[in-house]
Structure 1
Amino acid sequence: MSENANPYDATHITVLEGREAVRKRPGMYVGSTGERGLHQAVFEVVGRAVNEVLAGSASSVDVTLTPDGGVRVADDGPGVPVEVTEDADGASDLEALLTRMYAGMEPADRNTATVGLVGIGPSITNALSSRLTAEVRRDGACWVQEYVRGVAVAPPTAVGPASGSGTTITFWPDSDIFETVECSFAVLAERFRELAFLNRGLGISLTDTRPPGEPQSVRFLGETQDFIAFLDASARTPAHPDLIAFQWEDLRMAGTAEVALRWCTSHEERIRSFANSQPTPGGGTHIVGFRDGVAGAVNAYARERQLLTATDLDLSADRVCEGLTAVVSVKLDHPSFEGATRDVLGNTAVRTCCDEALREHLGRWMEEHPEQAAAVVGRIIPDAGRN
């Protein structure tokens, strides 16, 4: 190398922290600067409010798309503390929540695990917003704090008395960061519907007050079993009347799991999977274990009834899962996401736990419901119905 070449040393390295890092590389935190990233910024704020409900501290989450392009997320929890604390290094808990990654309520158990992409929280949204206003109703007083591009304009200020309690965060996505700052009502509605289905007792409302047209509002409630009915609502005829659903806890994977499934007369496999309420379209160990377990239960049932002989090969998971509609949801203490977009669950122990649980629970269901089990096996093995 030439002696005159510019040397590369520590002076050439710039370390970015906090909001500067987020604004410089937003895709690393919300996935993209397009619609996907915009909506993820919304989900990070909604995730905090949802966790309040799951922890029993709040009863509802209300999201509003405002006429001036803002997004307002409100809950009726106790309100984020506004007092300066030692834990926040001289800042209020509210300011820590909005400026420091991973700050926020510590989940009481795995069922209240964060529902954000990586659990970074509202600080990411604040850094990527042109402005943000936080309103806290707590101990009979209303406090307000405003931010501009992630920087606090002033400390939280008491603006008067308040009835009830809760936290409301309103933010305006930064057009200098995002390619579009107009949220899709349909995309938000789909995600909120998922959250309501996956978390029993959670209610989320979504209201759009943007012009033109009249305001529209929907509210989502439900549970995992309702998810199957929703997925099958469009031209899918059940092959058996009962929906199969069960849940379990397994210390080996440090988590819980819930599944709901039903076979239909079509050939399309329609399986939706989630880890800590986060969609995993890339699949992962929970789906591999689920499919192996379903195939194992069906094969065991078929062999016990001599629908498969000793010389027959086991039915493959692909064949068994034809026409299957299912929702697989795991909630783990320490989920490990893989893939470029973090949409694949990688926890190794989950595969074995799901496999064994499906073999046990589905196998028991087939024993207890022989007529419906015959319908399931009959569509997989055409000759089964004549045995």
Structure 2
Amino acid sequence: MNIKQNIHPENNYGEEQIQVLEGLEAVRKRPGMYIGTTSMRGLHHLVYEIVDNSIDEALEGKCDKITVTLNPDNSVSVQDNGRGIPSGIHPKAGIPTVEVVFTILHAGGKFGGGGYKISGGLHGVGAAVVNALSEWMEIVNCHDGMKYTERFERGVVARPLTCEGKTAEQGLYVRFKPDPEIFDEIIFDYTTILHRLREQAFLNAGLTLELVDQRIIPAETEIVSDEEIEAAEEEDRDLMQKEKEEQFVSLCYEGGIRSFVEFLNGKKHATVLHEPVIYLSTEKG
């Protein structure tokens, strides 16, 4: 094709054609730039981002338990027993700090300001992106002996941050429902999330990760039979049994990488060459 033939003089390109997307509009306009895809992989990435924020608390030694719950309304909640998020007015943004974390990109304690020494998440992008791509999000933030709640809808504050009073609890509770306007599918897969949590449990020795499935199984769903479990490959058998009989699983591996190798060895049919597992670890600094 001749490029000159493709020129249309009537198509004006001026200042008014340059769009400026404010706040989280850019995330909703181009979600693939932030989570890669709006398929099932991108859907589950939302869960991973919130969980990773809680894991950052664990890496700081401030959290030892994270619970992920699949709710009947297809929302997901992630709760940890970490420090929560400061809720005072942010000196630069002029709004509550916890609101900054969930509504402004690149906001968090992971940029070298002393909030976190080490981090495994997206450095403050995760929480705001999840909020932007959710139909709604609710948070319960317990920090410094006080409980705060707030609700967002498609990334916008729907119910302002409210102090509910004193509390002996600590940590952050985040519940969100993916936006069907954004995602091709909004039904989370239990097994996919379980695999991810198991990986994180191996990588973070001593951290307890729980997965709770409270969803009602539709009538047309085929329940896995005992015969199918017996016929399955050995490495899938335990997982299928859990899916059939349990709505709750708790993962904690004190041995970390050693536990991971032992887990792999347990799935093999051959004799293990080195038992026990040889593993060395040290702390930096």
Cα offset, 1:49, TM superposition: 0.9
Give 2:11's match in structure 1, choosing from 6, 24, 44: 6
Cα distance in 2 for partners of 1:111, 1:160 equals 31
Q: Which runs of 5+ in 2 are unaligned?
A: 218-243
Matching residue of 1:217: 248
Contact 2:108/2:124 (<8 A) preserved: no
Q: SS of the counterpart of 1:131?
A: strand
Matching residue of 1:226: 259
Pairwise mapping of residues 181-192 of structure 1 onto structure 2 (< 5 A)?
Answer: 181-192=186-197
Q: SS of the counterpart of 1:18?
A: coil
Q: For residues 66 and 239 of structure 1, do their structure 2 counterparts lie closer, same or farther at Cα, with a shift above 3 Å needed?
A: closer
Cα offset, 1:238, TM superposition: 4.3
Cα offset, 1:17, TM superposition: 4.0
Cα distance in 2 for partners of 1:28, 1:21 equals 9
Cα offset, 1:93, TM superposition: 1.3
Cα distance in 2 for partners of 1:90, 1:151 equals 16
Q: SS of the counterpart of 2:250?
A: strand
Q: For residues 234 and 98 of structure 1, do their structure 2 counterparts lie closer, same or farther at Cα, with a shift above 3 Å needed?
A: same
Contact 2:31/2:37 (<8 A) preserved: yes
- Using structure 2 for the length normalisation, give the TM-score: 0.78
Contact 1:70/1:171 (<8 A) preserved: yes
Give 1:45's match in structure 2, choosing from 45, 50, 68: 50
Cα offset, 1:59, TM superposition: 2.0
Cα distance in 1 for partners of 2:138, 2:79 equals 12
Q: Which range moves more in the overlay, 233-242 or 24-33?
A: 233-242
Cα distance in 1 for partners of 2:176, 2:213 equals 15
Cα distance in 2 for partners of 1:180, 1:81 equals 34
Cα distance in 2 for partners of 1:142, 1:42 equals 23
Matching residue of 1:158: 163
Q: Which amino acid aligns with 1:219?
A: S
**Structure ID, larger Rg:** 1
Q: Which amino acid aligns with 1:168?
A: Y
Pairwise mapping of residues 338-377 of structure 1 onto structure 2 (< 5 A)?
Answer: none
Cα distance in 2 for partners of 1:123, 1:85 equals 16
Alpha-carbon displacement from aligned partner over 1:160-187 (angstroms, at most 9, x marks no partner)? 4422211101111111111111111111
Alignment partner of 1:96 is 2:96: no
Matching residue of 1:245: 279
Q: For residues 215 and 105 of structure 1, do their structure 2 counterparts lie closer, same or farther at Cα, with a shift above 3 Å needed?
A: farther
Of structures 1 and 2, the one with the larger relative CO (CA 8 A, separation 6+) is: 2
Matching residue of 1:141: 146
Q: SS of the counterpart of 1:126?
A: helix
Contact 2:57/2:82 (<8 A) preserved: yes
Cα distance in 1 for partners of 2:88, 2:39 equals 36
Matching residue of 2:118: 112
Alpha-carbon displacement from aligned partner over 1:70-108 (angstroms, at most 9, x marks no partner)? 111111122212111204x10111101101123223276
Contact 1:145/1:157 (<8 A) preserved: yes
Cα offset, 1:67, TM superposition: 1.3
Q: Which amino acid aligns with 1:164?
A: E
Matching residue of 2:227: none
- Using structure 1 for the length normalisation, give the TM-score: 0.59
Matching residue of 1:68: 73
Q: Which amino acid aligns with 1:28?
A: M
Alignment length (residue pairs): 249
Q: Which amino acid aligns with 2:66?
A: V
Cα offset, 1:215, TM superposition: 6.3
Q: Percent identity?
A: 34
Q: For residues 160 and 248 of structure 1, do their structure 2 counterparts lie closer, same or farther at Cα, with a shift above 3 Å needed?
A: closer
Contact 2:102/2:131 (<8 A) preserved: yes
Give 1:15's match in structure 2, choosing from 16, 20, 41: 20
Cα distance in 2 for partners of 1:153, 1:140 equals 25
Q: Which amino acid aligns with 1:40?
A: H
Cα distance in 2 for partners of 1:109, 1:162 equals 23
Cα distance in 2 for partners of 1:162, 1:189 equals 31
Q: Which amino acid aligns with 1:227?
A: F
Contact 1:103/1:121 (<8 A) preserved: no
Matching residue of 2:178: 173
Alpha-carbon displacement from aligned partner over 1:115-166 (angstroms, at most 9, x marks no partner)? 45x7622111100000010111234332110101000124311224422211
Matching residue of 1:376: none
Q: Which amino acid aligns with 1:216?
A: Q
Give 2:59's match in structure 1, choosing from 33, 54, 69: 54
